[in-house]
Structure 1
Amino acid sequence: MIKKNYFEYAQLLSSEYSTLLSNESVRNILLKTFEDQIPIFDKDLSYREFTNQFLVHYYPNEISVKSTFINNILSKTSNHVSIFELNVGNSRLDLCKINRFSTAFEIKTELDTPKRLNKQMEDYFKVFERVYVICSIHNLENIKPYIPDDCGIYTYYITKTGRYVFKKARTAVKSNFISAFAQLSVLTKKDLNTYFECPHLQSKEAMIELIINKKSHNEINKIFKFCLRNKYYRKWNFLLENRADILEIDYQWFFKNTVSPEVVYL
């Protein structure tokens, strides 16, 4: 008899799982986690597929919300590039989308605390034209005091069958706090040299100052978006092209590494 509830099992399973585990290792972790009593919901699933389904359904952490948001929202539109885990100021942004506009998405699950949101909002509004928070509909009222009125909101809830349902609860207002310095600070010295034709100087700060003195803020914003789109196009396109063969809990790993799922899932 399984004594723990499914959330506790999913939490344990999440701490043990890694994309690079062999199928046999995934099986052994499942047996260890469930004390040799794996609840099989669909016998046609492989052990790895079962792990993915179980974690997405019963452990709605950032990884689960991020991947299902991609499936339900971001992948539904074309002509954009999305990016995982971008360093912005002193924060690490969960997702962003670059097309004609730049849009930031910060995920706050029911497992997260909102205490860092104020600082994250400050960082994101300096760099992106639109900023959204993605949060559980059950946690919406707890999140609102930590975000400005100009921040958009996506809510989600999970059905009994484990399906995530997202809804845009508030549309983001274009940021009035865009900082050329903050945008350029997100980029590397190589980016500044390649996309802004800035000579290599000893410090990135000196290169940024030179660019700001030569180009308008509008020009910098336009090139900034072009740079991010070009840098991450191949990674995002790889994920889209192979998404049918990649498990949701592994999206971020494959985005970063661009290795064929056939090789990893041997």
Structure 2
Amino acid sequence: MLKYKKSMEGIIMKDNTIAYSYPFNTKILSDIFENQYSSKLLKVFKEFDMLDSMHKDMTVKEFFENAYKKLLNNYRNEYVFKNAIAQKILIGRHSVKTSLLLTEFRVESSKADIVIFNGTSHAYEIKTELDNIERLEKQIKDYKKAFEYVNIVSVESKINEIVNLIDDTVGIIILTKQYTFKTIRKAKSGLKFLDKEALFNILRKNEYLKIIQKYYKATPDVPNTKINFACKSLFKQLSIEDIHREVLKTLKDRNSHKNLTNKIKEFPNSLKIAVLEANLSIEKQNTFLELLNQNINAIFKSKDSYVSPIF
């Protein structure tokens, strides 16, 4: 038995359900997006005897959709929660054209699982059934410095534990057994509590220089070693409303889903977050869409016997 199987022995489900989480691993998906194949995924298939159990005509798309259904029913890991937010909130409520979704977004010493920027800023911290909430208070404190609306997305069984740790400005959303979102408490605006220095620290040098130039018609005439401090001092003199608006605009300029505007609905629901995170070029989108319709057995059984380590 492989080490990675032993390390997860306590949570391996019936019929090796946990094996179906591996195809959604970032490294494996990156391989597939880049090369239309992954030796790491072949390793998973061989270890869990998955290829022989697949229908002979199964396509790549059908495989991912079926794997995702197994996760929904038996092993709702972080990927499932992230994908649900992408599918039901970004695409379902907002717009890929006018909104931006980022994952693992660093603020202070924490990383928000998902942030969405549209007309304002939203942070989503995920706590699955498998997660502990030891760091939740610190995480929420950091997020409130940079995002107008902060939400926790979790499961019913953790609600009481979560409510006891956070104040009533933080939203609480449950991912139900029916794969719908249920709002337990709506997030309140925390615009006036945003931290100017935390927002400044999100920006790159060229970005904060552009903002300083816009508002002061010049940038500080100081040595390069002092430019950060000088710009930060000027930045903090701006109103929090102006700062928040400029940071939103800057981040949306830095990152964009414009390549996906016309294509996102063509990708299977199981892969919405993966495609958004990868931010594929139009050419790679088209290549991947073609791959999704190919026979998965033909792709993986035709490869040689060499497989690399899974991770």
Q: CA deviation at 1:60?
A: 1.4
For residues 84-95 of structure 1, the aligned pairs below 5 Å read: 84-95=103-114
Pick which of 25-34 and 56-65 moved more.
25-34
Decide which of 45, 52, 67 is 1:30's aligned counterpart: 45
1:71 and 1:253 mapped to 2: Cα distance?
11
Compared CA separation, residues 10 and 204, structure 1 to 2 (3 A): farther
CA RMSD of aligned residues (A): 3.0
**1:13 positional shift:** 4.0
Partner of 2:263: 242
Matched, 1:154 2:210: no
Query: Counterpart of 1:120?
Result: 139
Structure 2 residue matching 1:132: 3-state secondary structure = strand
Partner residue in 1 for 2:156: 137
Q: Does 1:172 align with 2:172?
A: no
**1:191 — aligned with what?**
207
Q: Distance in 2 between matches of 1:104 and 1:7?
A: 34
Q: Which amino acid aligns with 2:252?
A: R
User: Which range moves more in the overlay, 79-88 or 44-53?
Assistant: 44-53
Q: 1:90 to 1:32 in 2, by over 3 A?
A: same
Measured in 2, the distance between the counterparts of 1:218 and 1:193 equals 18
Instruction: Count how many residue pairs are aligned between Structure 1 and Structure 2.
Output: 255
Matches of 1:204 and 1:60, distance apart in 2: 43
Aligned to 2:135, what secondary structure does the other structure show? helix
Structure with max Cα Rg:
2
The one of the two structures with greater contact order (alpha-carbon pairs below 8 A, sep at least 6) is 2
Residue from 225, 247, 261 that aligns with 1:224: 247
TM-score where L is the length of structure 1:
0.81
Q: Deviation of residue 8 (structure 1)? A: 7.4
**What is the one-letter code of the residue matched to 1:261?**
Q
Distance 1:254 1:173, change over 3 A: closer
Deviations 1:226-246 (A, max 9, x none): 2122222x2x33345332344
CA contact (8 A) 1:104 1:128 kept: yes
- C-alpha deviation, 1:6, in angstroms: 4.1
Higher strand proportion: 1
Change beyond 3 A, Cα 1:38–1:147: farther
* 1:254 CA drift (Å): 4.5
- 243-252 vs 189-198, greater mean Cα deviation: 243-252
Conserved 8 A contact 2:212-2:234: no
CA distance in 1, matches of 2:62, 2:248: 41
For 1:136 and 1:237, locate their aligned partners in 2 and report how far apart those are by CA, in whole Å.
33
Give the structure-2-normalised TM-score.
Answer: 0.70
Task: Tell me if structure 1 keeps the 8 A contact 2:86–2:272.
Answer: no
Q: Larger deviation: 27-36 or 72-81?
A: 27-36
> Aligned residue for 2:236?
212
In structure 2, the residue matched to 1:11 is: 18
| Alpha-carbon separation, structure 1, partners of 2:202 and 2:129 | 29
